[in-house]
Structure 1
Amino acid sequence: MTDMENPSTENLPYMPFLLGLVALAGLIVAVSTVFDTPKPDYEGTAVAFVNEVPIPETGYLRALSMLEQDKRGPITDADRIRILDLLIEEELLIQRADEINLIGIDSSVRKSLTSAMIQFIISENGDTEITDDILNSHFLNNLDYFTPSKQIWVKRIYVRGARDDAEQRLQQIRTALQQGENFDTVATQLGDEIFPEIPNSLLPPSKLQAYLGPALTQTAISLDEGAITNAIRVGSGWHFLYLVQQRKGVVPEFDDIRDQVENDYLRKVEEKALRDYLDWLRERADIDQTASQLQPADF
């Protein structure tokens, strides 16, 4: 077996670090090429130049720090040489990718760069101030979002519209229900099977819709507890709905869901930061959509 087929264990600690450099390359390409602007003169200390493009000492030291966290033992001169070689080769790959317009011809690269840019934009908001007062205000301004939805328990009797005796069957069901007969008994004796069956439990409207569909779910939500509808024609048949029980959503205590409130607040801060950044990019760009014959999106 050759050395190429059996890599030494000495090189293995460098693999996570090398993969990290490859991941970071996407962000570097994004910053340097997406804006399509000339690279500014570098005024800091550079450890090398690749086609007159500097490799900053700060990036070199950061790479050494990454290796130090990954490697067992102290950093050696050989490590320093290897790190510099990796950074030089990374820069060569990035410059070649730019040279052959890899961003323009490879959709996977574009997606990776888009993701890298989004993370870069979001990371700039890492020092967002978060206090209990801010979170409590966010909680109070979004009570509907943090309050669990109403839950309802609904039963149904279904009659196929294609039955020859559909009208007669509907009248029999009406009469039985008006006389106070048990809803389940009437469903078993006079109703037709329909799948999926509604669970015998409280469900939020979002889940109930999977069984009833949007129109019947809206009707069920509007019912008072204990109410039974007349026959409702929806789809291929008739439906009688019975609201067995309902439970209104209760506003939780802030302290009980503080982490949830904080996560939602940060999500909205990040969304706003991204939206503001994209708006800024649009303002500074020359965008011509006349060839597409489509109207610009309304943001």
Structure 2
Amino acid sequence: MASPRLSRGPGRLCARVRGSGVRRQRTGRRVLHPRDPGAHAGGKRRRPALHLRRPGRLRAREPVLRGLPHAVYRRLPHGQRGTGVVVTDLRATVNHRPAGSRRGTVLLALGAAAGVVAAAAGLAGHPRGRGVPAGAVARVNGQPIGSEEYERVVAGLASDRRSGVDAKTRRRVLDRLIDEELLVERGLELGLARRDPRVRKDLTAAVIDAVVAESDRQPSESELQAFSVERPDALRRPGRLRVRQVWCRTTTAAEETAALARAREAAERLRHDEEFGAVRDAVGDAELAPLPDALLPPAKLLDYLGPTALRAALALEPGAVSDPVRSRTGYHVLQLVERREDADLPLTEARPEMVAEFRRRSGERALRAYLDELRRRGEIEVVPRLP
């Protein structure tokens, strides 16, 4: 194969290809393009053949380009015929400075290296990187991601894993927080906080929780005493009832008559003082949510019985049995076992309930004051007459 002969000139790299090769020149670049391996492809070489790693564009820092100025009389291997070497900036491969200016170039390079070393030392002393504030692990478009939030997520993962959390998992956690911040910012840009009903609801609830939490505090003893005087109903414990029932299910119209007959039989047998468990097992059905055998306030009984059956239970005297009561699920036969009337409790006994009520009302007042301030600062216009 033909061997290219290379020579240097001011600001350019020239090539003379002997044999079957050809020299092509283009503006700003030179292309060495061997056509045919020729008769000398396997001949004796003064130096190893010029090795091209792949066809196409090569950068000035590639080893093959650094060797070009010294590749005089080298021959291209047989397998590389037709390969084009494109140098985008030949000036990077040619040193055409006068010999007297090389000393200044060396000094400039040494100064640049010293600057790189100093910068690396500065980065090593600040593991968070430039621009990330203290107490944060990242910054996304100026918004920091706090270390506390990051550690909270990592701790949650660690509690579910016996092997702990490795560095790769920690990086995935940070990437998830970064993605979340990017999505939040994009959602705000798209106006989802105003247009999406779910986002509006969640945002409103979050602001309310923040306002209430800011005003939340434990009351002093004098505040608690004054509150108990203003709200005597807070010291009153509502009456409680212990009720049991026999339930006869009705799922279709065809079961209506049979279920009513079973409920009437249960009421009759209970009024004749038969054992409750035996009657329930004989004519009743298994309850979907079994009624607890305990004293419960009316508000709790409502969850188990429903409004119609609850009214029937409240009208009973202890030991009495109700007639069958129809609900949407079937018939209920109720027996009142025990009743406790409303009672006024001393402050020491009702203290937990009083503190909870005080904090709830304090939160309501703080929220109302916050909304009034927002209305005062805002610009609100309404139509003269609502449609």
**Superposition TM-score tier, normalisation by shorter sequence:** 0.5 to 0.7
What is the TM-score normalised by the length of structure 2?
Answer: 0.42
Alpha-carbon shift at residue 138 of structure 1 (Å): 0.9
1:8–1:269 CA distance, 2 compared to 1 (3 A) = farther
Contact 1:220 1:243 survives alignment (8 Å): yes
Alpha-carbon shift at residue 150 of structure 1 (Å): 2.9
Match of 2:244 in 1: 155
Alpha-carbon shift at residue 283 of structure 1 (Å): 4.7
**Structure with higher RCO (Cα < 8 A, 6+ apart):** 1
Match of 1:205 in 2: 298
Q: How does 1:135-284 map to 2 (within 5 A)?
A: 135-161=224-250, 162-248=255-341, 250-258=343-351, 261-283=354-376
Alpha-carbon shift at residue 213 of structure 1 (Å): 1.8
Alpha-carbon shift at residue 231 of structure 1 (Å): 1.1
Contact 1:103 1:109 survives alignment (8 Å): no
1:8–1:265 CA distance, 2 compared to 1 (3 A) = farther
Amino acid at match of 1:17: G
Aligned residue pairs: how many? 212
1:228–1:276 CA distance, 2 compared to 1 (3 A) = same
Superposed CA offset, 1:253-289 (max 9, x none):
3234546534532442332132123134335543345
Amino acid at match of 1:210: D
State the alpha-carbon separation in 2 of the partners of residues 122 and 159 from structure 1: 47
Superposed CA offset, 1:114-166 (max 9, x none):
8569746975x68x996533321212333433444433221112234415534
1:236–1:262 CA distance, 2 compared to 1 (3 A) = closer
Contact 1:104 1:110 survives alignment (8 Å): no
Alpha-carbon shift at residue 219 of structure 1 (Å): 2.5
State the alpha-carbon separation in 2 of the partners of residues 146 and 9 from structure 1: 62
Contact 1:160 1:238 survives alignment (8 Å): yes
1:168–1:115 CA distance, 2 compared to 1 (3 A) = closer
State the alpha-carbon separation in 1 of the partners of residues 207 and 307 from structure 2: 39
SS of corresponding position for 1:158: strand
Alpha-carbon shift at residue 245 of structure 1 (Å): 1.5
Alpha-carbon shift at residue 225 of structure 1 (Å): 1.6
Q: How does 1:47-126 map to 2 (within 5 A)?
A: 102=188, 105=191, 107=193, 115=206, 119=210, 123=214
Contact 1:152 1:247 survives alignment (8 Å): yes
Alpha-carbon shift at residue 246 of structure 1 (Å): 2.3
SS of corresponding position for 2:241: strand
- In the alignment, structure 2 segments of 5+ residues that lack a partner are 1-119, 145-184, 194-198
**Structure number, greater radius of gyration:** 2
Amino acid at match of 1:227: A
**If each structure's strand is expressed as a fraction of its own residues, which one has the higher value?**
2
State the alpha-carbon separation in 1 of the partners of residues 189 and 212 from structure 2: 19
Contact 2:218 2:359 survives alignment (8 Å): no
Match of 2:221 in 1: 132
Contact 1:151 1:204 survives alignment (8 Å): yes
SS of corresponding position for 1:156: strand
State the alpha-carbon separation in 2 of the partners of residues 179 and 105 from structure 1: 70
- In the alignment, structure 1 segments of 5+ residues that lack a partner are 27-96
Alpha-carbon shift at residue 229 of structure 1 (Å): 0.6
**If each structure's helix is expressed as a fraction of its own residues, which one has the higher value?**
1
State the alpha-carbon separation in 1 of the partners of residues 321 and 208 from structure 2: 55
1:256–1:153 CA distance, 2 compared to 1 (3 A) = closer
1:236–1:16 CA distance, 2 compared to 1 (3 A) = same
RMSD value, Cα: 4.6
